[in-house]
Amino acid sequence: MPQNTALLWLRNDLRVHDHAALTGALENANYLLPVYCFDPRHFADTELGIPKTGGFRAKFLIECLEDLQRTLKAKGADLIVLQGYPEIKVPEFAEQVGATTIYFSKEVTQEEIKVEETLEERAWAQGIRTESYWQATLYQLDALPFPINQLPEVFTVFRKECEKMGEIKKMLPEPEHVPFPKEQTFPCTLPALEALIGPPPKKDKKAAMDFVGGENRALERLSHYFWETKSLASYKTTRNGLLGADFSSKFSPWLALGALSPRKIYWEIKKFETEETKNSSTYWLFFELVWRDFFRFAAKKHGNRFFQVEGISNQSRVWSSDKSQFEQWTQGNTGIPMIDANMRELNATGYMSNRGRQLVASFLTHDLGIDWRWGASYFESRLIDYDVCSNWGNWMYVAGVGHDPRQNRYFNILNQAKKYDKDGDFVRHWLPKLKKLEGFDAHQPFAFTDKEKAVRMGGNSYPKPMVDVSKW
């Protein structure tokens, strides 16, 4: 193996544009070996008996890796594929090929940090250096206007301080060539999806759009949303939509796996504001990216409290562990049309709108009183845009144990349904048999007595469907 060979250990940074670890490696190494390691823990079942990585998430991951491998080949390299615990396999491989340094992107939550620390210990014991980079956010950690232990607990305070003092740096250039050793054969075959999860998920024709993983598809989506349809110009007024492809940006799946850099979006917003229009909608997309930053920094500040039942609030509360009701919620069989429609969209596509996520989370935690961590874990399995910090941060927020200054953000499901699905189009899209009920109000709980309809759904007063709603 040539001298000064480095490894680039890839995880949730599956791109070549604006990539700090890749840039650092290319500046310091003569040859670079990009490596992805499939961790079996990511494909095991959780304590609730559901896959940690569900079918749609796994499919999107494989597509991102396939796309990255094609891009690397076009630049003279390849993607090396390992399987096993990364903290063991990556240092072992580095020693086998005589690599001097392992480069990687930093994560902030317990499972990922433990893997990083163990990997570094093993690498150092073998005389291999490690270099890590912060790169998942708009704002850099060292550019924040406060130390991380003084991070504001309220988003608005964080945002205003960052807007006044924080700096968003320019993007790093994409390399034209990645020097890769040619004299040796490496394992570069990606596993079949079936080998990871069993039978692949079926595509549902009712899906709002066809999400395909990969950096190139992410850039195509960015171009479509900004420049082909100019949808960015109306983002703020349409972002709470439920049906269709362009009511929101839908960048989140690619952001979650690092196939799209948040700074790429930010600087494209600035270009759009210069060439097209600057308005509340262009600002609001930036605003949502700052929310994403906030949860990542908050996860770094609070550590494991993000995953504890009290959240960051330290407030004790008795949560239900009714598995039957939880199962009704997961399968979209609660008898509440707006809840059921959103959950069935999630199960059928791996996606749910932001408004839908707020409603189903509020219903599970406030109406059913079920442990919010169960919902967060289910989302982890199902969402193609699962991001550990945003997912658990948002669930804490809605459950009243997180960063929400109101602490009791209850959503009236019926009122929300009438506001955001006025004519019931979304509900009937995912519960098509409701169309057969002449004069039926798609927003009302169905198959309940009038008395039960009048009762505010909450805790023990939650009405049980009188028919098998799974048929709807």
By the 8 A CB rule, do 100 and 2 touch? Answer: no
- d(C-alpha 330, C-alpha 347), whole Å: 8
By the 8 A CB rule, do 360 and 298 touch? Answer: no
pLDDT single digits (tens) 25-65: 999 999 999 999 999 999 999 999 999 999 999 999 999 99
**365-383 mean pLDDT:** 96
Task: Give percent of the chain with pLDDT exceeding 70.
Answer: 90
In the predicted structure, residue 466 carries a pLDDT above the cut 70: no
- d(C-alpha 377, C-alpha 373), whole Å: 6
Token pair listed for 161 = 């301080």
Supply the pLDDT for residue 432. 84
Supply the pLDDT for residue 167. 86
User: Smallest Cα–Cα separation from 7: which of 108, 99, 98?
Assistant: 99
CATH classification code of 323-471: 1.10.579.10
Give the start-to-end residue ranges of the domains of the chain. 1-135, 137-168+214-303, 323-471
- d(C-alpha 178, C-alpha 235), whole Å: 37
3-state secondary structure of 98: coil
Kindly indicate the confidence band of residue 102, based on its pLDDT and cuts at 50, 70 and 90: very high
Domain 137-168+214-303 has CATH 1.25.40.80: yes
Q: What are phi and psi of 83, to 5 degrees?
A: -135, 135
In the predicted structure, residue 408 carries a pLDDT above the cut 80: no
CATH classification code of 1-135: 3.40.50.620
Token pair listed for 250 = 């839908």
DSSP structure class, residue 112: H
**435-460 mean pLDDT:** 43
Token pair listed for 79 = 């993607």
